[in-house]
Structure 1
Amino acid sequence: MFKYFLGNSPKWFKLTMITFLIVNIPLYFINPTVCAWLFIGEFIFTLAMALKCYPLQSGGLLAIQILALGLTSPKHAYNEVSQNLEVILLLVFMVAGIYFMKPLLMYIFSKAFTKIRSKLVLSLLFVFLAAVLSAFLDALTVMAVLISVAVGFYGVYHKIHSSSSDHDHSGTLDREELSGETLEQFRSFLRSLIMHGAVGTALGGVCTLVGEPQNLLIGERMGWNFIDFFLQMMPITIPVLFCGLLTTVVLELTGWFGFGAKLPEVAKTIIENYTEEEDKKRTEKQKLGLKVQAIAAILLIIGLALHVAPVGLIGLALIIFQTAFMGITEEHALGHAFEEALPFTGLLVVFFVVVAMIHDQHLFKPIIEGALAMPVEQQPGLFYIANGVLSAISDNVFVATVYIGEVEAAFKSGQITREHFE
């Protein structure tokens, strides 16, 4: 049984989780408050060890034990879930809706990849495109598309490298031209673009209500719509965006940390010729699909800007519109769109169990009261640092859920003003 417990996780991780589950029981009867704090530490540990074992299983076992010991009740956990239903709808439907837009996103990034000559301009464009797309779409999906583009071009490189083709018509086989230093330079070029894109998704995702799940969670509690959230966050997010673009320029010009590698000319020519051939092979159905996805993207932006419906329902409309006009009607084909988001959606419900325990046990009340007792001008900086440190070692959605809940409680009790709350 131990062999299959938590799958392929390291033995030390399995033993650690078993120890947690055993130690928690006697500690609960000795001191429930200390036990609850230990649960938080254990849960953060499972989030930090996400690469060893997806936290849904390890963290989920802790959540079940929290409920079994009575540190919170199923009803209170359900209330947390119901209060954050819009976030769950975002994850389920919006991410699935963007899934059907992947061909369009890959087309955009692919064209940028092959048409832009300057590496500096291309890097800035990748950061900016990733930021803009992440502001209106799901940042994780945009990141997945970036990776797909890079893996796709790397696959093209290897496909040509292992064939007897001559895509650049130079008279020399491509596999001879694409070996050695050319291959290493191409790898470095792709790595730097992916990192620029990853930073771009973070820079853009933080700007809007739908860019990150925690944004919607906070915006919902504050009563902000899409435009309100953007305007409220703009004094912080826009300067950070420009700092990110400036950092991109510095890294590309200096070549620090492995950045600055340029696309080898021979590789660029071969890939351009290959993509042109692929464009010619594109079927009428695929071309229609790109048009439908472009229209869906425009409707999405309009729907979010005008706040015509909750974000999750806009995502559902996006799914229906795209699949109806692209002819995707098989249940099996639809199911793939939901595969990416559902594991994290399940983990989010586990978060809410832990948050319910924090509220029921009043764990953060003394900390929040202590922070609010400090001078008003010091409080934002303190919360900023505390949330930043916790987000670095755990999950920012979990941190945001706890933080906004406690600060909202302080606002409702009259400890802080609406202006200070914002």
Structure 2
Amino acid sequence: MLFKVPRGTQDILPSETWKWQQVESIIKHVSDAFRYKEIRTPIFEQTELFQRLVGETTDVVQKEMYTFTDKGNRSMTLRPEGTAPVVRSFVENKMFGIPDQPVKLFYVGPMFRYERQQAGRYRQFVQFGAEAIGSADPAIDAEVIALAMNVYQRAGLTDLKLVLNSLGDTECRKAHKDALIAHFTPHIDEFCSDCKSRLDMNPLRILDCKVDSGNPLIATAPSLPNYLNEDSAAYFEQVKSYLDDLNISYVVDANLVRGLDYYNHTAFEIMSTSKGFGAITTLCGGGRYNGLAEDIGGPSAPGIGFAMSIERLLLAMNAEGKSFDEEPNLEVYIVTLGDDAKRPGFKLLNELRKSGIRSDMDYMDRKMKGQMKSADRLNAEIVVVIGEDEVAEDVAMVRNMSDGTQEKIATSELVGKITSSLKR
């Protein structure tokens, strides 16, 4: 029976993992510069965590979660996003008691959503996310956005657009919710079943509906900025002022609501404007989530964060024609001739590797010609040849592949001389 990779997933082969490692290196470097520390949470959590924090009315909870019952008859879910697990860990491990606040965290890892596969979108995908928990300062909003922008810029992307909106505080959200209910109720039969079920619980989700996006009632729906109270409007102005100070350009879009229920105040998306990127332009999304820690029994700990898809970052780099550094070449290839040479060659291989030298040898019992071809294919800088004569003399023949020069070197001096001759 021929097995295939599950639908919506992918094998990332060695020819591609080098690109992933470079992107992950950028992420870790930028996160370190911003002083965000890595956190690693479990792949699965209690289902109720996502139901409570992500929101019962979201597509993520209603349609996309991979949920299973474990042997203890508990409902568990493969994490569909990273914020809820991070906030759970923040509360459970009492990180609110750490003297230095806010607590700044980042994560990189697989997430799982059962959705239709599209370019750069998979059912198992990898997210980089950052969370700053414990501060209600609008400057931290700008810092989090700057972190995300910095990662894209370090990756070489230039075709970027930052879109902002304010969702306001609880008071604003309620006033806007009442206005939306009044607006949509007389014509709700024109909308899909999802929108009908969301009308009373979370009518804001109707504005984000993909099925009914062309309905004229969405275009004429009450605009959230018109319902911002004085404090919320002032907060949003401060966020924009800090972004101006950082020379980060942005566009304000009153229809930006994001797909998760926990957002309030600042919401944002970073999009690719590259012509070759495709129809779905969003690279990254995030926002403020004051009140999330309290929802699971923690103290007041306002937070803000974002998540970006590594797959879509790589897709954007390809669309803009950004190149990757070449993978480091093989430094030393050991050619052994005859059974008596195999063991000293194998021992030398281990000594080279312990010295941090990228080394390999033949394991297919090839003749010398075949081994030399293998060294060529691997772009080895140096080839070490050990045959019966070399074993008897306790030496090895060392050939520089760039200029063809070679010399006999005593076994005891091999590692030192090879190390000094390598182009590092």
TM-score (norm 2): 0.23
TM-score (norm 1): 0.23
Greater share of residues in strand:
2
Greater share of residues in helix:
1
Which fold has the larger relative contact order, with Cα–Cα distance below 8 Å and residues 6 or more apart in sequence?
1
